[in-house]
Chains A and B, each alone.
Chain A
Amino acid sequence: MGMLSVEALSFRYPGRDEAVLDEMTLAIPAGKVFGLLGPNGAGKTTLIGVIAGQLRGAQGRVTLNGEPLARVRRARPQCLGIVPQEYALYPMLSCRENLRFFGGVQGLAGARLKARIEAVASFARIEGVLARRAGQLSGGLKRRLNLAIGLLTDPQVLLLDEPTAGVDPQSRAFLLDSIRSLARADRIIIYTSHYMEEVQELCERVAIIDHGRVLVSGAMSEVLRDDAGLLTLRLRAPLPPGLAAEWRSRFALHEDGAARYRLAIGGPAEIAPAIEAARAAGCEPLAIDYGRRDLEQLFMQLTDRSLRD
């Protein structure tokens, strides 16, 4: 199984004192989608830029299966694909011309290029708009074309930098399903986002970064495990003031908004009575979590800030 390793990677932009990447170390195994989560400015795009070779001057090492990535790419330039945060396509060219161009500059030609264009267009479900100019597409279709371009060389390392930014929920769901299906035994996929729900839904491994440092990294189930005895309830309606006051004194009730509550209960035995009390107050529980926190809660615990800040 392949592994992309980032070892003590540091990077600062010229003229700036603050390091954007600060001794960052990560191990990203193949076979699963690896989520890189962090607020805006955490260093996600910079890390992608350094791995992709867009930014130079980083200290540290990036290796693919133990071999420096730069050396691997000199031998096999097509081994890495990138889907940047921007649309990164030519609006005045048609979708097919965009695919042909980006395939051509990566050395694809003839039947192989044609086959790859058909394959990625089919994968991204853009076959019907191949003749249309990219500039005339909706945001969702542009994102799909962006993804298709990144897949042209069938890369072993795939870097997805916020590939769902600014799209409607339907397109986002399609893109997430598509990305999930890209995982295979020998492929390394890094998926950056500041949408915790996306990362939580899509990735089996995750790293949370902030100010260029890794705050936590590991399997999603491990990272989200919570031994603090927190019960999280999402209710159909907000708690009535009386019950809220009672829980505040008994369970150190914390309200996240949108009828979402966290209760520090004594143990699993107190889950059922709490749910019954909410139900009796006319607040039907919609979601119940115990012993497991979400990424937002984890980030807040680690930084005292919200991911959305």
Chain B
Amino acid sequence: MRRLLALWEKELLALLRDVHGLAVLFLMPAAFIVVMSLALSDAFKGDSGRQTDFAVLSPDDAGLADRFAQGLAGEGFRAVPAPANEAAAREGVRNGKPGLALLVPSGFAPALAAPPGAGDSPELVLLADPTLPPMQLLAFRQRALGVALELRVSQMVRLAGGAPDALPDLKRAARLSVEVVGSQGARRPSSVQQNVPAWLIFGMFFVVMPISALFIVERRDGTLARLVAQRVPFSMLLLGKVAPFFAVNLAQAALMLLAGRTLVPWFGGEVLVLPARWDLLGAVTASTSLAAIGWGLLVAVSARTLEQATVIGGVGNILAAAIGGIMVPRFVMPQTMQTMAEFSPMAWALDGFHAVILRQGAGADVAAPCAKLLALAAVLLALALWVHERRRVLSSAQ
């Protein structure tokens, strides 16, 4: 135990004096959490979260344009002043400002009241920004047709001798609320719920860098050979690296959750809601940490140079993050990619964190991700020992 304590102390001192290593482990994930949580906050709200500007252009009837604008505004659509003419409206939409422009043709209102057989029905034209989601475009189209129908019905009432003001609000009849019932398993995370655990996992796996760098320097400078000559078992050397980096991963987790609670809202994002089950959060964090450390040890033992370790560790992490739903949420991936994500340890870790943070789950919900991560950690550690033994000249006699 005394020898292990000496190894842990050395590892922590070396790490604490490695400014670049600390920056990679703490500043990088914190920066990603803030930036990505803010950048993707609208995207994670779905279409309802997006405010789309629109303008109504009615050259010969300003009152009609106002009625359309009032009828169309709301539920993600905001009216802006109309451009001077159709050309200006087209130019504006081409630039995305506004995203939508409704062109009301001359004589639209009288045409609505035309008797049967009076020719083609009047045609509204909607100019749309191509970047708008199709569902949002469809919603706006439905709203525009609804307003036109309301206008036509009010004209019919007027022709029938009734008072248009007495006409019931047609939109009230069309109100519909949606209530999600049953399992919340498929619920999508918010931006901060996605990004805090995602980039925390990414940061935790980056312990591969300092672990492999320290190990390769030890091998290069002869300290490893000296320790072997001092009869320090290789398994103890590896264990000497586990505890310090486990502590580093726990510190990362605490600080990244804090960033989700304080930094993100401070910059205008939403607050991360902490889980009720801290024990489960601890279990997921510990499992993720052990898998990350196992990966770091394997790279450290396998890579012959610092450059190799940087490439293998860095690229491996980025690929696992891309596949595992760290960079792009899995729910926006096509089915093939979602299947591939099942093979990324970062996806397992993210499942575990979501089970705790997003769904406030129970022990059974985190058992599978934790088991996968722990099994991976054991396999990686065994592989590291095996690679070391293969590279070292085998013992027979002395």
Contact = CB atoms under 8 A, between A and B. Distances in A.
Interface of A: 13-14, 49-50, 52-62, 68-70, 73, 77, 80, 82, 84-93, 97, 100-107, 109, 149
Contact of B221 (A55, A89, A149): A89
Top 4 nearest A-B pairs (CB, nearest first) are A104-B6, A86-B222, A56-B395, A88-B222
Contact residues on B (Cβ < 8 Å of other chain), bracket: 20 to 34
B178 interface: no
Contacts of A52: 228-229
27 contacts: A14-B393, A14-B394, A53-B231, A54-B229, A56-B393, A56-B395, A56-B398, A58-B396, A58-B398, A61-B397, A68-B398, A69-B398, A73-B231, A80-B229, A86-B222, A88-B226, A89-B221, A92-B17, A93-B13, A101-B6, A101-B7, A102-B230, A104-B3, A104-B5, A105-B6, A106-B230, A107-B2
Given A13-B393, A105-B3, A92 B398 contact: no
Contact of A56 (B226, B232, B396): B396
A70 B396 CA distance: 12
Contacts of B232: 105
B229 A82 contact: yes
Nearest to A94: B13
Given A53-B231, A93-B10, A104-B2, A88 B398 contact: no
B18 interface: yes
B3 A92 contact: no
Interface string B227-242: 1111110000000000
A31 to B, nearest CB: 23
Nearest to B3: A105
Given A52-B228, A61-B398, 8 more contacts: A56-B396, A77-B230, A86-B221, A93-B10, A104-B2, A104-B3, A104-B9, A105-B227
Contacts of A80: 229
A102 B392 CA distance: 22
B107 to A, nearest CB: 83
Contacts of A57: 393-396
Interface string B1-45: 011011101100110011000000000000000000000000000
A152 B2 CA distance: 16
Contact of B228 (A54, A69, A103): A54
Contact of A82 (B10, B13, B226): B226
Interface of B: 2-3, 5-7, 9-10, 13-14, 17-18, 221-223, 225-232, 392-398
Nearest to A110: B2
Contacts of A53: 228-229, 231, 398
Contacts of A13: 393
A101 B8 CA distance: 10
A84 B2 contact: no
Nearest to A103: B6
Given A13-B393, A73-B231, A104-B2, A62 B398 contact: yes
A100 B5 CA distance: 11
B223 A89 contact: yes
Contacts of A109: 2
A88 B7 CA distance: 15
Contacts of A54: 225, 228-229
Contacts of A82: 226, 229-230
A105 B7 contact: yes
A78 to B, nearest CB: 8
A190 to B, nearest CB: 13
A32 B140 CA distance: 97
A93 to B, nearest CB: 6
A47 B7 CA distance: 28
Contacts of B6: 100-101, 103-105
Contacts of A55: 393
Given A86-B221, A89-B221, A102 B226 contact: yes
A101 B10 contact: yes
Q: Which of B2, B232, B393 has the most CB of A within 10 A?
A: B393
A56 B394 contact: yes
Contacts of B10: 90, 93, 97, 101
B235 to A, nearest CB: 14
Contact of A59 (B223, B230, B397): B397
A126 to B, nearest CB: 17
Nearest to A108: B2
Contacts of B2: 104, 107, 109
Contacts of A104: 2-3, 5-6, 9
A82 B227 CA distance: 10
A52 B222 CA distance: 13
A70 B397 CA distance: 9
A62 B397 CA distance: 10
A251 B7 CA distance: 65
A106 B6 CA distance: 9
A53 B124 CA distance: 89
B194 to A, nearest CB: 37
Nearest to A82: B229
B398 A50 contact: yes
A92 B14 contact: yes
Contact of B14 (A62, A77, A87, A90): A90
Contact of B392 (A56, A68, A89, A100): A56
A97 to B, nearest CB: 6
Contacts of A77: 230-231
Contacts of A70: 398
B23 to A, nearest CB: 16
Contacts of B221: 86-89, 91
